Homo-oligomer: A and B are copies of this chain.
């Protein structure tokens, strides 16, 4: 008689829905929750509901933000509004912010075009990007999607849509990662690094 209390089964199923969490891990996570104190379990549940309730998309750049207004980056007057950096994911905004090199604004697509996964242009926040550019005042759009086939295809697609607006469309440079070793760089990266070589 294999037996788990239904409430434990239900919790395991919830965890198993998370990306990258299999049935076995989900069970381990459910057991962990049972080991929490009553307050800790409530804090966990509250964090889920609160995050879902309070976090919305910034009406301008589509990044996650708290409340209905603009996100801190779109609100900031110190950011250069003439440059928009297009990324696939909110995590990419933070990656670029960490470099402290970029002072323009962003646009988060929330995905890339991927026919394999049935994600077409209409599933991404492309319309909002076109509205921002057509509203005027934008001089350059930097494509910063991942250097994967899908990321590249999405960047190509967007650049064609944006060209008619007379805006400059650029792409992040490809090359050997800083601190990496040539020996371990793949052929495609080395080819791009050679193509993009600069005079010293």
Contacts and interface: CB of A to CB of B under 8 A. Distances in A.
B94 A4 contact: yes
A14 B47 CA distance: 7
A19 B14 contact: no
Contacts of A48: 11, 14, 33, 41, 44-45, 48
Interface string A29-50: 1111110101001111111111
This chain: copies in complex: 2
Contacts of A191: none
A11 to B, nearest CB: 4
A66 interface: yes
Interface in A3-26: 3-8, 10-11, 13-14, 18-21, 25
Given A5-B66, A31-B90, A65-B5, A52 B71 contact: no
A176 interface: no
Contacts of A11: 47-48, 50-51
Q: Which of A1, A2, A71, A90 has the most CB of B within 10 A?
A: A1
A73 interface: yes
B55 A3 contact: no
Give chain A's interface secondary structure class. Answer: helix
Contacts of A127: none
A10 B97 CA distance: 20
Q: Which of A8, A21, A42 has the most CB of B within 10 A?
A: A8
Given A47-B14, A64-B5, A19 B27 contact: no
